[in-house]
C-alpha cells in the first residue's frame, strides 16, 4: 500500500466559525491550530497547507485560569539596549483582544513560511459579529 500525498490542486478549503466565549485559551488555540494545519482531514500532508479557514468571534470573552490576567506577560524587543517591552495579558485584552488568540495559535503552528501562510487563514474578531458571511462558514463545535 502506498502513502497518499495530496496535490495542491485537490485541496478543498472550508470556512469555519468558532465562538470562544467562556472557553479556555489554550484548549481553543490547539483546536484552531489543528483546523488551520488540516490535521482533521484524512488527506493531511505535513509539507502542504491542507487546512481550512477559521473565523473566531467573541475573542474578548476568552478565559484563562489562575492569575494569568496579571502574571502572563507578552514581551517584545526593539533591538536597542534596554528596549524590552512587557505587557500583561490584562492590558492586551483591554486594547487588542484579538492578539491574545492570534499569538497563542501562532505558537502552535510551524515556524516557517508554511506556518505564516496558515496564520493568514485565521480571522479573529473581538465581538460576536464578523464580516465573512459571504463565505458561508460552518459552525465548529468545541
Range of the domain at 36: 13-65+97-128
Q: pLDDT tens, 40-80? A: 999 999 999 999 999 999 999 999 999 999 999 999 999 99
pLDDT at 4 (0 to 100): 86
Q: Where are the alpha helices (DSSP H) in the chain?
A: 25-37, 68-71, 89-95, 97-106, 113-119
Record the pTM: 0.93
Percentage of residues of the chain with pLDDT beyond 90: 94
Q: Is the pLDDT of residue 142 over 90?
A: no
**Cα 69 to the center of its chain, rounded Å:** 19
Count of structural domains within the chain: 1
pLDDT at 2 (0 to 100): 86
Q: What mean pLDDT is reported for the chain?
A: 95
Task: Give the CATH number, domain containing residue 113.
Answer: 3.90.1180.10
Position 92 in a domain:
no
Q: 54: which strand partners?
A: 16, 122
Distant-in-sequence, close-in-space partners of 33: CB < 8 Å, separation ≥ 6: 105, 108, 109
- Residue 95 phi/psi, 5° resolution? -95, -50
Amino acid at each position: 500500500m502506498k502513502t497518499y500525498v495530496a496535490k495542491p490542486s485537490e485541496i478543498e478549503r472550508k470556512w469555519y466559525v468558532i465562538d470562544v466565549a467562556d472557553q479556555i485559551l489554550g484548549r481553543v488555540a490547539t483546536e484552531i491550530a489543528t483546523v488551520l494545519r488540516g490535521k482533521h482531514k484524512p488527506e493531511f500532508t505535513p509539507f502542504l497547507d491542507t487546512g481550512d479557514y477559521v473565523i473566531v468571534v467573541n475573542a474578548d470573552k476568552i478565559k484563562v485560569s489562575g492569575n494569568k490576567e496579571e502574571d502572563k506577560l507578552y514581551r517584545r524587543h526593539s533591538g536597542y539596549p534596554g528596549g524590552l517591552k512587557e505587557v500583561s495579558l490584562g492590558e492586551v485584552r483591554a486594547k487588542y483582544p484579538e492578539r491574545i488568540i492570534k499569538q497563542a495559535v501562532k505558537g502552535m503552528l510551524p515556524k516557517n513560511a508554511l506556518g505564516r501562510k496558515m496564520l493568514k487563514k485565521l480571522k479573529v474578531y473581538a465581538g460576536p459579529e464578523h464580516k465573512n458571511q459571504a463565505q458561508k462558514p460552518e459552525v465548529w463545535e468545541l
